[in-house]
Amino acid sequence: MKLAVDFFHPGYNGWQDYQGDLPEALLKALPTLKFGDGLSVREQSLSFYPDTKFIILKHPDWSPSNLFIYLLVKGDETIWLNGTSPGIHQFNGAGHLHLTDDNIMEYVHFFCFFVRGEEGPFYVANTVDAPYLINELGAAAKDGNEKLREIFKQRFQSPRYFGKSPEGDHRISALVMYSNALFIADFELKPTGMVAMANDIPVMADLPSKIVAPLVPVQ
């Protein structure tokens, strides 16, 4: 799967207006966050979570200004994608995950963005123009960063699928940005939805910035 705009990016054209009420679980989880006039709520479906609403929320008064709130909603279940793994594992454990050969790359892309380390997302760059890449590596790189952009383009590797291990785990290799570094990561995806990084090879280090895409409000 190679998308110029990630399917979870606010600019992705697959989002549609959400017509339902906000889940009560969200309002309880974020009681100090404004959800009134000006709130944008959109949704889409995900192939690996059938019959589930994948929801994105944004309000102009939120802090930080680039904060987006993401949810998974299925029936009475609401999972706030807050950068930690328990919610996703809970959702998968309830039997909602449906992996196929056609959507495993998409799921790994999703999992790595929404399950974060101390320095931010493990962002799988599907293309050299992936939207969450830092400005110094992106298509509009300038002010002396053109060389970094060229190095990145030379070292870029599209995500690759290597079939299943003897244990039945899907094996995937992808270029990942985490903190201020890029590396080629070898992933093992288990049928349960657990994603493990089996190996990583450094590609670029000590970059001038890192991805800033907050999922939780400033406390």
Asked whether the predicted pLDDT for residue 123 surpasses 50, the reply is yes
| Averaged pLDDT for residues 198-218 | 94
Biggest CA-to-CA distance, the chain: 54
- 1 lies in some domain: no
Q: 3-state DSSP call for residue 176?
A: strand
- 177 lies in some domain: yes
- 77 lies in some domain: no
- 87 lies in some domain: no
Give the model's pLDDT for residue 68.
Answer: 98
Instruction: Name residue, tokens 């009560």.
Output: 24
- 141 lies in some domain: yes
- 50 lies in some domain: no
- 21 lies in some domain: no
Give the model's pLDDT for residue 138.
Answer: 75
CB-side exposure of 48: number of CA atoms within 13 Å? 21
pLDDT bracket for residue 146 (50, 70, 90): confident
* Residue range of the domain that includes 137: 119-204
Q: How far from 42 is each of 9, 53, 188, 192, 216, CA to CA, in Å?
A: 12, 10, 31, 28, 18
What's the domain count of the chain? Answer: 1
